[in-house]
Structure formats: C-alpha cells, structure tokens
Homo-oligomer: A and B are copies of this chain.
Amino acid sequence: MSGATPAFDSHLHGPVLVIGAGLLGASIGLGLSHRGYTVYISDISPTTEAVAEDIGAGTSLRALTREWQGKDGQDAPAQLELAPQLVVVAAPPDVTADLVVRALADYPASFVIDIASVKSGILSAVRASGANVSRYLGTHPMAGREKSGPVAARGELFSARPWVLCDHETVRPELVKVAQQVATELGSTITHMDVGEHDRTVALISHVPQVMSSLLASRLQDTPLYALGLAGQGLRDTTRIAASDPGLWVQILSANAEPVVQTLYGVREDLERLISTLEAPTAAGARLDIAQLMSEGNSGVARIPGKHGGSPSAFAQLTVLVDDTPGTLARLLVEIGELGVNLEDLRLEHSPGAQVGMAELSVNPNEHEKLIEDLTSRGWKVVK
C-alpha cells in the first residue's frame, strides 16, 4: 500500500469479514449473506467456524485459505490477501479490543466495527494502542437470545431491535454510513450515542436490572417448592432474567463496573432507608417513607415507552380464561379479530396447579368495555 490515504466508499457493498462466529457473529453473517453480501467468517475455534459456514453464515476463512493455498500448488504467498470493505469483530468483550487493533493493522483499507455490549473500554484501548481509530466505530446491536453458538444463529435476530452506533470525534463519516447500512439491512432501528452515554444507558436499562433480578432470585434458593408454587406473575417477571449465563455477565459487569456501581449506590441508599423504616414500621413518618419509595417507582416505570416506542401504555387490559385444549387461544384471537378489535399486546399467564391459562390482552381503551361484553356473550370467561 502506498502512503496515500485510501478513498473510502460510504456505500456498503461488501465483502464483510466477521471475526467471531458465535450467536451474534453468525447471525450477522447469516443475515448479510441472505441479503446478498459476500461474507467471510472466522473464529478462533475451527469447529465453530466450520459450523458457521455450514449454516450459511459466510465462507470459512480457514477453508478459503486452504483452497487458495491448494489452488496454486507451487510457492504461494504466505498470506491470503483478503480485502474486506468491513470487518465486524463479534467476539466476547474481553478480547474485542485486541481483535479490533489487529484487524485495523491486518486490513489497512478496511473499516472495523465491533458489537460488544460495553463500549468505553474498547475505544480507550484501541486509542491507547496507537491504531488508526478513524477506521473504527464501536457499535452495539441490542439483540440476543438465551442460546449461544452458531447453531442458534438467526438472520432475523436483529429485526426490529435497536442498534447503537457510538460515533466518536475522529471517526470517518463514510464508516458511520456503512455501519448504518449494516444495521438497516439487518432490520434494526439506529440510535447514536457516545461511548460514555451508551455505557451509562446500558448500565441502567440492562445491567442493573440483571443485578436486581439475580439478587432477588438468589433469595429463593432455600424456599420450599410448595411455597414457590404460590408465586404469581410478579415473582416470575422480576426473576426471569436471573436465568442468564454467569460467564457472559461476569464479563459485562466487570467491563461496565463504573456506571453499574454508580447506580447501585443509589439502590443501596434507598434499600438502607427502607430497612430502617421497616425495622420500626409504626414510627412516625414510616408510612410516608414507604409511600415515597413506591411513588418514585411509579414515576420511573411510567417513563418506559410502551409498545412501538410510543408513550407508555395507554391501553386497557383484560384477562380471559383459556382452557388447555389446542386451538383455544387461537380461537379467542380469531374472535377478537372478527369483533374488529386490534390486539395491542398479549401474554399467556401461568396458573399454578390448574389446567387453564389466562390470556392477558391489551386493547384500545375505547374498545375495552364493549369487548368484555362481546366476549362474555360469546361464552368466554373474562376474569379481570
């Protein structure tokens, strides 16, 4: 390569090299391959890389190298000269910064993005290495599933999910445009935030909720099972994400320790105050203290956007009993459709010990009362 600054295209045309063929990397490879881009995929584990190729996530770099070396038969240059337009580092947070630095060096005409869920530390490390950060952009697709590995990959994993791009002072505008196209092609909605704001945000909306859920769930270890049998949706909802993978979360919480602990200081303060209040629940002002915590919780949760990012749920709820025979829930939904009512949200609730379920529906408040009447007259049991 000469000393001249290469011209960079702001149009995503590929090829794309994905480094890291786990769930996210393989899903990106799958999604982009489906959309016609040339994708190369690489993983530190040969098996993982081969599986990713098998599922359609791209051409395995090892296979490509073998084929290329084999083709010549004679003295072939030592290194396959690959020139991807974009390198996507999709490795665990711990090793991402090193891989980004290496990719910036190995592919001097390429852009490099990563997708780790914590961003400040990576940008700092890449800067500190002396590498050319103008060709690097940190990003975070906020998608995932409880399974891991390439076999679990889905090209649609990012559909309708947010993808955050962490523009920084020296990033090339062409790179930002290319990254935007990747996210858009994969169906995501884009948000721009600097790395500090990103890390504080995910601390609040993802990492601290994980901590709270785990703190709560760990209290259940010695509870008799029949007592847990009385649990309702409240306990289930607040502990669901406590089933997350410890290995991954050790990395995330370590990497984002600072913003997480800042939020936890506030939690600790409120918890201490509540404990003091409950140690003397009949003391003057005790009730007001408790009410204040509850109200602050009310205010906080009311700020979370409702469905489709609109204002918090302005919908009315009703719960209908559905028995366990196949097709009952489908029939309920069909009848609701026949009544011309649009279903905004739906969940099926657990009913401990009984062979029925509760379908919790959200509808436009204007249609709420009439729907209850209509469903009841059609024989459905509206519970609440």
Contacts and interface: CB of A to CB of B under 8 A. Distances in A.
Interface of A: 142, 144-147, 152, 154, 156-157, 159-162, 164, 189, 191, 193, 197, 201-202, 204-206, 208-221, 223, 225-232, 234-247, 249-250, 253-255, 257, 260-261, 263-268, 270-272, 274-275, 278-279, 281-282, 286-287, 290-291, 293-309, 317, 319, 321, 326-327, 329-330, 333-334, 336-337, 340-343, 345-348, 350-358, 381-384
A218 B348 contact: no
B346 A346 contact: yes
A303 B221 contact: yes
Contact of A160 (B221, B237, B356): B356
A225 B205 CA distance: 11
A253 to B, nearest CB: 5
Contacts of A307: 350-351, 357
B272 A218 contact: no
A319 B249 CA distance: 23
A145 B319 contact: yes
Nearest to A153: B384
Given A160-B354, A326-B340, A345-B357, 18 more contacts: A159-B354, A160-B356, A202-B230, A204-B223, A216-B267, A219-B300, A225-B305, A239-B300, A242-B300, A246-B291, A253-B281, A255-B281, A257-B279, A264-B274, A307-B351, A326-B343, A333-B333, A334-B334
Q: Which has the most chain B C-beta neighbours within 10 Å: A221, A242, A267?
A: A242
Contacts of A327: 333-334, 337
7 contacts: A164-B230, A191-B226, A197-B227, A205-B232, A211-B274, A214-B296, A218-B296
Contacts of A343: 326, 329, 348
Contact of A230 (B142, B240, B268, B358): B142
Contact of A221 (B144, B154, B296, B333): B296
Contacts of A297: 213-218, 239, 242-244
A50 B101 CA distance: 75
A241 B157 CA distance: 28
B227 A204 contact: yes
B221 A206 contact: no
Contact of A254 (B223, B246, B247, B290): B290
A49 B237 CA distance: 35
B345 A350 contact: yes
Contacts of A281: 253-255, 257
Contacts of A306: 350
